[in-house]
């Protein structure tokens, strides 16, 4: 991965997190954390991995649907903060790595 792409991913992660926390006042989100961002090489798409605190799968899916409804507003705010010419299309996904890690911990503790 190039250094420029990595810097852009980190900047998008930081800015989207700030936008969701301070600019968009939607109580349906709850406590949302941007865990990772993956940007394609041509900067056309950015996959944003999010996790929600203290939620079940059904509630997390509802919150993800709400995020997808306001992704145009998030992209507009992001375009004002980024210095690149093309703002990528945003794709929100639930980060399942924490659940996977806790399942592994449970299996190890049972042994």
Distance CA 81, CA 87 (A): 10
Number of other residues whose CB lies within 10 A of the CB of residue 58: 7
Q: How many Cα atoms sit within 13 Å of 20 on the Cβ side?
A: 27
Strands in the chain per DSSP E: 32-39, 45-52, 89-94
Q: Taking the chain (111 residues) in consecutive chunks of 10 residues, what is each chunk's mean pLDDT?
A: 88 94 81 91 94 74 89 94 91 81 77 74
Which token pair is 24? 């968009």
Tell me, what's the pLDDT at 88? 94
pLDDT 10s digits, 47-59 = 999 988 766 666 8
Total-model pTM: 0.83
| Nearest-angstrom CA–CA distance, 2 and 17 | 23
Domain 3-110 is classified in which CATH homologous superfamily?
K homology (KH) domain (3.30.300.20)
């Amino acid at each position: 991965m190039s250094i420029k792409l990595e810097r852009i991913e980190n900047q998008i992660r930081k800015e989207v997190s700030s936008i969701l926390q301070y600019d968009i006042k939607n109580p349906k989100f709850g406590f949302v954390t941007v865990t990772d961002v993956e940007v394609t090489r041509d900067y056309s798409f950015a996959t944003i991995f999010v996790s929600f605190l203290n939620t079940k799968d059904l509630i997390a899916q509802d919150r993800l649907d709400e995020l997808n409804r306001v992704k145009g507003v998030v992209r507009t705010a992001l375009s004002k903060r980024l210095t690149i010419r093309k703002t990528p299309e945003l794709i929100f996904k639930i980060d399942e790595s924490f659940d996977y890690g806790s399942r592994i911990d449970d299996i190890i503790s049972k042994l």
